[in-house]
Structure 1
Amino acid sequence: MDLHYSLEQLLAFQYVAESLSFKKAAERLHLTPTALSHRIKKLENQLNLKLFERKTRKIELTAEGEFLFKHVQTGFEHIQKALLQLNQNQQRLFTITTTPPYASEWLIPYLPELQALYPDVMFRVHASYDPVNMQSGQYDLAIRYGQGGYQELDVELLAEDQYVAVSHPSIESENIDWNRVPLIHFSWGDEYCPKRINWQKWYSQQNMQIHVGQRQVFYNEENHAIRAVLAGQGIALLSKVAIAHYLQMGMLKVVSKHYVEALNYYLLSSLKQDEVIVGTKKWCREKLEGTYKVI
């Protein structure tokens, strides 16, 4: 007998055996008594056994029926307990998509705090500069760097940003020779940002220009540029949001009053929000306000 084709019949058998009534069992299964009777008959044919004694006013289990009922009932009880346990232990997957700098500087170091707030939630961080489709259902929360204007989403301004010239604290600002100081670039601003935030723009706004032969190095990730400045390799034009912690701790310092206006960070979610989305957004705002607004 192939059990795969008999689960419906076995469940029907259990319900009839429990109530000893085709009518009551049919009601529980939302079947007609005739349809239920066909299932029982099919099971008996598969087993080549008689499971019920059908009498005028009642039905009784045969000896084979009693034996099968004991094992079927135990089997379905085990299955039900397993399903209940799986449901109770099931963790929700909550995906946050954000830019690589925000992920590395604001999410990853503090993610245990967020996990402690929601121990039944499994968090996933997706880092990318690319636009994402929030209607796809793949992401619960997006933290994006842009100009706003997002459609059919719940949109909250998280922070306004500026790009500032930053160095290792050992460099004395007043002694910087802007014709000779090593410049650290990263290409994200040119590739994705319509405002084209880069050293060329910073110099041009002050009627200056990068000197021929001035030492320069180029990275394709802002995180790499941050690491280079921390290592004392030169000066970089960096997002004030991305480096807020380093500025507060004195590991980096701003070496010029001139800054370049940048884009803004936004919290994006679907219009229908649950308590985890609302709470995670609140946590993101509090983490940022605790550091960024005091530097």
Structure 2
Amino acid sequence: MGKLPLGLLQQFVLIARQGNFSRAAREANLTVSALSHQMKQLEERLQRRLFERGPRGVTLTVEGCSLLDAVGEHFDGIEHALSTYRTRHHDALTLSASPGIMSSWLVPRLPRLVAVHPELVLNLQSGSTLVDFAREPVDVALRYGDGAWPDLHCERLFGEWIAPVAASALIARMAGTDPNELSRWPLLGEPSPSTRWADWFERTGGTRPARYVAQFDSLDALRHAALEGLGVALGRMVTSKSLIDAGRLQVLGNNYLPVPDAYWLVYPPRSREHRGLQRFRAWLLAEAEDYRRQMSAFRPDDMAVD
């Protein structure tokens, strides 16, 4: 039989997944007649019937299903590997970030990026798990942590501070209660295994309450509960400052606690020459510097800014 042309197998996978010769032909930029002829060649070379043709499309025979199982994932792997190289040398940029910094910090600033670099095509991916640069076609990420991610370029953007925040409605209900005596306020528990409330009471004094008014498994849900006036949350300033500026949350008391982790720009070695990343990086570092200046003006006198 000799070696099969890879093109025939590639078109087979396309038809099998589309379930329709017309749609597959449009995607392959071929005529239906040409694609049908190629599949006839493939069936003759293999001496197997691969498709059952019907009025509404095609279905795979048992042997067609076996062939798809055998070759489909290999073409997926090739497509995945090539996708990285397609984006390296033009202006498309795929960025991953956690939902908090994506919605609260990055997205409000993106109009300024678009104004200075309208040629950039941004693909933003929001998720709580760390992207695997070796397996996913992602060019760059914003991460929160200690910066110790091996085999990656890590550039520190800015530090983080936490403070107790509450909605105006809750503050009104608790009128007369000392904002520095948090054990008397309804507190919102954080996703496990966070120990930030324990650290807070250890650093600032006071008695930690025996229980929380509610416990949450995500920071997004926790933030919404605080906005609705359910209780007091320990808010990260990076994701809470815009809500404070808008008057939707208020800081209780005068204590701000610096935390050891920070926000980082992270990217693999393969992205260093990516033209879009170079422009995004320069813009982002300038935005980070501006944010640090804003926080210096926002902070109380005893709040260290790095």
Q: Give the TM-score taking structure 2 as reference length.
A: 0.56
Cα separation, 2, equivalents of 1:197 and 1:108: 29
2:184 paired residue number: 180
Query: Contact 2:161–2:256 at 8 Å: present in 1 too?
Result: no
Deviations 1:27-60 (A, max 9, x none): xxxxxxxxxxxxxxxxxxxxxxxxxxxxxxxxxx
2:59 paired residue number: none
1:201 paired residue number: 199
**Are residues 137 and 292 of structure 1, via their aligned partners in 2, closer, same or farther at CA, if it must alter by over 3 Å?**
farther
2:16 paired residue number: none
2:257 paired residue number: 259
Q: Rg: which structure is higher?
A: 1
Cα separation, 2, equivalents of 1:246 and 1:201: 24
Compute the displacement of 1:264 (Å): 0.6
**Are residues 116 and 199 of structure 1, via their aligned partners in 2, closer, same or farther at CA, if it must alter by over 3 Å?**
same
In the alignment, is residue 294 of structure 1 matched against residue 284 of structure 2? no
Query: Contact 1:197–1:260 at 8 Å: present in 2 too?
Result: no
Q: Describe the SS at the equivalent of 2:156.
A: strand
Report the residue type matching 2:223 in the other structure: I
Q: CA RMSD in A?
A: 3.0
**Are residues 283 and 140 of structure 1, via their aligned partners in 2, closer, same or farther at CA, if it must alter by over 3 Å?**
same
**Are residues 182 and 266 of structure 1, via their aligned partners in 2, closer, same or farther at CA, if it must alter by over 3 Å?**
same
Q: Describe the SS at the equivalent of 1:94.
A: strand
1:237 paired residue number: 234
1:277 paired residue number: 277
Q: Sequence identity, in percent?
A: 20
User: Can you give the 5+ residue segments of structure 2 that lack an aligned partner in the other structure?
Assistant: 6-85, 299-306
**Are residues 131 and 241 of structure 1, via their aligned partners in 2, closer, same or farther at CA, if it must alter by over 3 Å?**
same
Query: Contact 2:160–2:258 at 8 Å: present in 1 too?
Result: no
Cα separation, 2, equivalents of 1:264 and 1:154: 15
**Are residues 206 and 106 of structure 1, via their aligned partners in 2, closer, same or farther at CA, if it must alter by over 3 Å?**
closer
Compute the displacement of 1:127 (Å): 1.9
Cα separation, 2, equivalents of 1:279 and 1:293: 26
1:129 paired residue number: 128
1:63 paired residue number: none
Q: Describe the SS at the equivalent of 2:252.
A: strand
Compute the displacement of 1:92 (Å): 5.0
Compute the displacement of 1:247 (Å): 2.8
Deviations 1:106-140 (A, max 9, x none): 23334344344443433222222323223446111
**Where does 1:73-222 land on structure 2 (aligned, <5 Å)?**
92-136=91-135, 138-169=137-168, 171=171, 175-176=178-179, 177-187=181-191, 190-191=192-193, 196-212=194-210, 216-222=213-219
Q: Describe the SS at the equivalent of 1:150.
A: coil
Query: Contact 1:197–1:262 at 8 Å: present in 2 too?
Result: no
Compute the displacement of 1:280 (Å): 1.5
Report the residue type matching 2:188 in the other structure: I
Q: Describe the SS at the equivalent of 1:179.
A: helix
Compute the displacement of 1:217 (Å): 1.4
Query: Contact 2:177–2:184 at 8 Å: present in 1 too?
Result: no
Compute the displacement of 1:258 (Å): 4.8
Give the length in aligned residue pairs: 200
Cα separation, 2, equivalents of 1:285 and 1:273: 17
**Are residues 204 and 122 of structure 1, via their aligned partners in 2, closer, same or farther at CA, if it must alter by over 3 Å?**
same
**Where does 1:37-48 land on structure 2 (aligned, <5 Å)?**
none
**Are residues 173 and 115 of structure 1, via their aligned partners in 2, closer, same or farther at CA, if it must alter by over 3 Å?**
farther
**Are residues 106 and 207 of structure 1, via their aligned partners in 2, closer, same or farther at CA, if it must alter by over 3 Å?**
closer
Compute the displacement of 1:207 (Å): 4.7
**Are residues 203 and 118 of structure 1, via their aligned partners in 2, closer, same or farther at CA, if it must alter by over 3 Å?**
same
Cα separation, 2, equivalents of 1:173 and 1:267: 44
Query: Contact 1:166–1:237 at 8 Å: present in 2 too?
Result: yes
Compute the displacement of 1:173 (Å): 9.0
Compute the displacement of 1:277 (Å): 0.9
Deviations 1:208-244 (A, max 9, x none): 43334x5511222222222222222221012111112
**Are residues 173 and 130 of structure 1, via their aligned partners in 2, closer, same or farther at CA, if it must alter by over 3 Å?**
farther
**Are residues 279 and 174 of structure 1, via their aligned partners in 2, closer, same or farther at CA, if it must alter by over 3 Å?**
farther
